Amino acid sequence: MHPQHSAFNPRSTMSYHLLDAVDRLGSPRILVVGDLILDRYVWGDAERISQEAPVILLREERQETRLGGAANVANMLLGLDATVDLAGVIGDDADGRALARDLDQAGIGRDTIVTDSDRPTTAKVRFMGRAQYRHPHQMLRVDRETRQPISSEIAEQLLEAILPRLAEYSAILISDYAKGVCTQEFLRPLIQAARSLNLPVVADPAAGGDYNLYRGATGVTPNRSETFKATGCEIRTIDDAFKAGRKLVEKFDLDYAFVTIDRDGIALTSRSGESTHLPTRPREVCDITGAGDMVLAMIGVGVAAGIDTVDLCRLANVAGGLEVEQVGVVPISRKAIIEDILRVSRTTESKVGSLDDIVRQVSARRQAGQRIVMTNGCFDLLHVGHVSYLEEAAREGDCLVVAINSDTSVRRLGKAADRPLFDQNYRAQMLAGLASVDYVVVFEEDTPHAVLEHLRPDVLVKGGTYSAEEIVGREVVLSYGGTVKPMGITPGVSTTDIVARLRAIDRGESLSDPITIPLPSTLNSQLSTLKKAG
């Protein structure tokens, strides 16, 4: 029994934020089985029409090889920080040796790959042309392959290599490109053995393939057209996708159907009859090549880690969306996924959270390589000095967290009897409305020590007349190697002065001049130059 798979249940009471889900993925060991393909790319400049025939002439600039088919899924998994073994068949030829070399260089295990001297290694050669210095586009693809099913002897060799090692894996992914590896003789005993160990098996079916090959698997990930071919249900609406998904689940004894419907996201259907639509956001589509492999890889890592299926589908939408924005097949990293999730516009309210919430957000940002900055204070009356100081603080890193004293904490600090002027929720929302601020957290203690110990920012900054040695919490930050930096003040403005002026006005006193602040020295110099010029 694999207890880490117990959370693979759409009815689970646990609901994970996407960043939390990424943080929980771990580094699972996954087995990918299916059709191995070597992708060759010939890049060049499509500069003119040939004199020999009315065809575009491609002036070659470079060539490269990439992992394709099931090997591409394995490479995608590596980008998601999984440990990967690959099972399939290659030929005893130059392409097979090139594929083996690329697998070794990538760090993908190939002990479960079988060489069959009677069949060629599947290879696809793509000619990529660029015209007038624009983005290159695919001009032609040439395939070298056989689609004959592997022999009983080869299927037996594959099973003998795989079955003794099944307990080492957290999930199995089947990548079927209809090149002959995924036969009933090979897949049926593999799926049965995996399910006896409670090992998830997710298959990306071949276009127009026989879904009986995947009977009893945990789930399948067909696209819109593949689902239509398998069920006869044309998918025009989300309800059509649900209907087709239910038919797949019932007919082929599956736990889930992840029907990918391109720009509409994923329609998830479970054995229990529950259906959920997970939409995706619009993308600039450069190339759809590899998007299905990326979705399968993301689902594979998620199911291996026991991620809730709804969040799993959301992550798959992000990963697949990032893939279609690339030219050619490019592995998508967890860092890229985190950055994309963070890039989505957030409301002011979403920036304010509990310490636990902010810690999880900051942890995800660290995985993306971001530098975390924190400052703290009461921020009772937001003014230009605060805005300037927070903008300066934000430039010290990639993410600025502002920790503010709660109302009771402000009162304990010995402020005036009527302070704070604005309650903690108002102050938090005002700060969250600033573009320079990424997160706001309220703390009850008199000092920010507890917040610092949990967040562990790379830089602690403080505005005002403090020296670095006077900044509260300095010892906490320095203890783990962080930096403490005073920011200074904006001359001519402070909360105390503003409050004093407001009280004077309330008493009926006349104030002759408004509050002004000195212009920056550079701007003063520019204005002086302009005046002299006339």
Q: What is the CATH number of the domain that holds 183?
A: 3.40.1190.20
User: Do 413 and 394 share a structural domain?
Assistant: yes
- Which of 291, 320, 343 is the last residue before a domain boundary? 343
**531 inside domain:** no
Q: 343, 362, 379 — which closes off a domain? A: 343
Within a domain: residue 315? yes
The residues near 226 (Cβ < 8 Å, ≥ 6 apart) are 205, 206, 207, 208, 209
321 and 418 within one domain: no
- Count the domains in the chain: 2
Q: What is the pTM of this model?
A: 0.74
Give the range with max mean pLDDT: 48-57, 135-144, 237-246, 508-517. Answer: 237-246
**Closest among 304, 296, 299, 369 to 329, alpha carbons compared:** 296
Domain annotation covers residue 452 = yes
Told to judge if 23 belongs to the known catalytic residues of this protein, a careful annotator would answer no
Domain co-membership, 308 together with 396: no
Residues 376 and 269 in one domain: no
Residue type, position 515, single letter: I
Question: pLDDT averaged over the chain?
Answer: 85
Same domain, yes or no, for 339 and 354?
A: no
Same domain, 375 and 309: no
Same-domain pairing of 331 and 218: yes
The reply to whether 49 falls in a domain is no
- Same domain? 295 vs 406: no
pLDDT at position 13 is 26
Q: What is the pLDDT of residue 141?
A: 94
How many residues in total does the chain contain?
Answer: 534
Is residue 302 within 8 Å of 25, Cβ to Cβ? yes
Residue 216 placed within a domain: yes
**CATH number of the domain bearing residue 456:** 3.40.50.620
Q: Would you place residue 530 in the very low, low, confident or very high pLDDT band (cuts 50, 70, 90)?
A: very low
pLDDT higher than 60, residue 529? no
Angle at 211 between CA 210 and CA 215, to 5 degrees: 135
Q: Is there a single domain that holds both residue 292 and residue 428?
A: no
Indicate the residue among 290, 325, 343 that finishes a domain: 343
Please tell me whether residues 195 and 321 are part of one structural domain.
yes
Is the pLDDT assigned to residue 29 strictly greater than 50?
yes
pLDDT 10s digits, 276-290: 999 887 766 665 677
β-strands 171-175, 83-90: how paired? Answer: unpaired
Clarify whether residues 90 and 230 are in a common domain: yes
Q: Is residue 320 domain-shared with residue 422, that is, in the same domain? A: no
**Considering 293, 311, 407, 458, which one is annotated as catalytic?**
293
Could you tell me the residue range of the domain that residue 389 belongs to? Answer: 349-490
Domain annotation covers residue 43:
no
pLDDT digits (tens, 9 = 90+) for 68-96: 999 999 999 999 999 999 999 999 999 99
Phi, psi for 206 (deg, rounded to 5): -75, 150
